[in-house]
Amino acid sequence: MTRERCIIMANGRFPASELPLRLLKEAKTIIACDGAVKALYETGIHPNAIIGDLDSIPVELRKRYADRIHHVEDQEINDLTKSVRFAHAQGYQEILILGATGLREDHTLGNISLLIDYAPLFKRVEMLSDYGLFTPILKTTTLSCYPGQQISIFVLYPEGEISTEGLRWPIRQRKLTSWWQGTLNEALGDRFTITLSPECRVIIYREAPLIETSL
């Protein structure tokens, strides 16, 4: 069965800003990593499914949510990936990941980099924090923005070439070999285009406040 969209709640810093909190409260479907369940419950939000090895969920909540827990033991992947794969298996076409950054920096870097692995599974994958939005790009894409919005580009496949239009400091058919090389750019108008060679894969970061229609 094909389903439209869901939110995946990871076990990083719980959202504090208006947009992610509102999206979380308005979501029709929330798939939670087991470590995020306590914070959701304390906010009055009840996930539709809970995924993980159950090492991070309090016993009383494990009992309360027994009808929606999906125990996955696999130690080769983290609970976020388990939740994303569950969403894919359930037929969701779009996912928005919340709570995947903050707290431990190693988890933050790992979770952001995983967006490239998740991208082929869905029509849209994005990761929203209190500060901005991460979007994996696998092919030439035009994204919405606003003048002056801070934009960073992280290239995960450095053998590919990238070009940009609509950014203050343009990139022309260049190979970016380090993460910092595409960071701290700025949008000139209401959209910008990232042109990628076939072997290039990038993650785009757009600073908050965000264009609502991009979510």
H-type alpha helices, 58-186: 59-64, 79-89, 105-113, 115-118
pLDDT in tens, 128-149: 999 999 999 999 999 999 999 9
Radius of gyration of the chain (CA): 18
pTM of the model: 0.93
pLDDT in tens, 163-214: 999 999 999 999 999 999 999 999 999 999 999 999 999 999 999 987 654 5
- Would you list the domain boundaries of the chain? 3-130, 137-214
> Which candidate, 108, 110, 112, places its Cα nearest to that of 136?
112
Tally DSSP H helices, then E strands, for the chain: 6, 13
> Residue 162 to residues 6, 49, 156, 159: CA-CA distances in angstroms?
31, 39, 12, 10
Question: Quick one: CATH architecture of 3-130?
Answer: 3-Layer(aba) Sandwich (3.40)
CB under 8 Å to 72, separation ≥6 — which residues?
A: 51, 52, 53, 79, 82, 86
Mean pLDDT across 82-94: 96
CATH code that applies to domain 137-214: 3.40.50.10240
Sheet containing strand 150-155, edge to edge, reads 69-71, 49-52, 30-33, 3-9, 92-98, 124-128, 132-137, 202-207, 150-155, 185-186
